[in-house]
Structure 1
Amino acid sequence: MSDSQDNLILTIRLIRSFHYRNLKNLVIKNVNKNLSIKEFKELVNQEIKKSSVPPPFKTFTYDTLKIEHIPFKAKSNDPVINCEDDDLLILKDEQILGESPHIVNETEISYFLMKDYLEYKTNKYVTITSSNIQTDSDILERPTKKIKLLSYLNTPASILSQTCQTKNLRLMFTEYLCEIDKPCNFQLDTSAFWLKYKDNWGELAAFANYILNVPATSASVERIFSVGGAILRPSRRCITDKVFEQLILLKSSPADFTEIGF
């Protein structure tokens, strides 16, 4: 508790990034209630520079203070900031700190950049952008990933390349592309699909199963196939339909297979 009735202990929640939940708490003691919000911001900025928070928090530009929650009212479910009651809880520069009925001892106040806050409210549930996720197409577009994947197969990649260059497999590949627009059950487990249609594309089916039979215990292979935590299916031999369609010789991306002989 504060030694004086005119002073407060306040917790400042420094929010550097809303989407990445990058925030730090800074406790400031003996805050004079008679400070204006503008003066209080200057005090907080000084305390940030003197504190032990990481350097990025010290160089970040903050411009807005908002009371995190009203006493005796349920807290927001949002782990980053309370997005409700902006008109009531956002503090204006001309206000006096102690005049707000919602600022009491040990009140939490968020300090952030208003532009980032408005963007967060607009896209509140999009916390990670697609550019930060390794998508299936990203994996397939990187030759090094394909080389790394092939390195985990039991048969050397050179043998795979020789297999791809056989005339029979080329014919199978052409027939497969001609047939791909016809109805077929792609809802099957990928290994089961090629087992069912092995008579249609014999050598191609064998080649597909060869690609799909990756070591189940290889963490590196699982990382290559994983997207957003959904790694391999329970059989540990199957990959997502999207990866499957791009990897196993579909019309959507034939250029991906030029490197292995097609």
Structure 2
Amino acid sequence: MNSGKLLMKVINVTLLKPYESLTVQLSSEKRPTLGKVIPLIRGLLLTVGNKNPATSPGNYLKKNLLEQTTKRFGNIKGKYPSHLYAKATILDPRFKKAASTSIDNANESEQELQKDLAEYLENHAPLRTEQVIPESTILESNTKWNSIPEENLLNFLETTVSTLRSKTTFSITAKALCRQYFDVEFLNIKDNPILFWKNNNLMFGALSEIALKYSCIPATSVPLERIFSKAGQIFSIRRKRLLPENVEKLIF
């Protein structure tokens, strides 16, 4: 191999190494991955952008890598209206709002999180039980005092005001929980965010439930594909009499 080809091989390996690192991290099975998508893509673009190939082909490769990566993943948050990636990232105590590309994006993600949390609180709030006065008691009281009940002309507002009051309470609670979470110290990059939310469930309550929901979403289908491949190797023609519970034990 001549020196020119060797140099090009070294340059290609140098430029493609960050992509290998990103692929390995997002294909993990034992750690949450969805919240790492946005930080890893930002890190990928910065790392490749900071490399300085010594040859024209190397610079051409670098330019094309950056263009294609930016085109496909540069605005990943805007391509997914459900904000799954943004919510998973902001709920990762290793990153929070630090991984956002701008203050506006960070604030928008926080508002989406607060809205999601307020809806969760509203849907899981205990039902209020109102005291019901028996009709016979009302009739007896009216007969006793020989008076006509006063007409409440504001009845039409009671339901509306009650609904608005409840929504305001849930929104305030959601903001307070989010502020409490953001004030907590950042988690170490190598720590497991799922353990953080499980250990602090009493402190954050509903926010922990939402965080665990997003943290458990895998970023890629690689873990699922691994399971199918493993199942195909275990449950073969020669072992087709395996019981379902035994197959499950062998796979998982």
Q: Which has the higher strand share?
A: 1
Query: Normalising to structure 2: TM-score of the pair?
Result: 0.29
**Greater per-residue helix proportion:** 2
Greater RCO, 1 or 2 (C-alpha within 8 Å, sep 6+)? 2
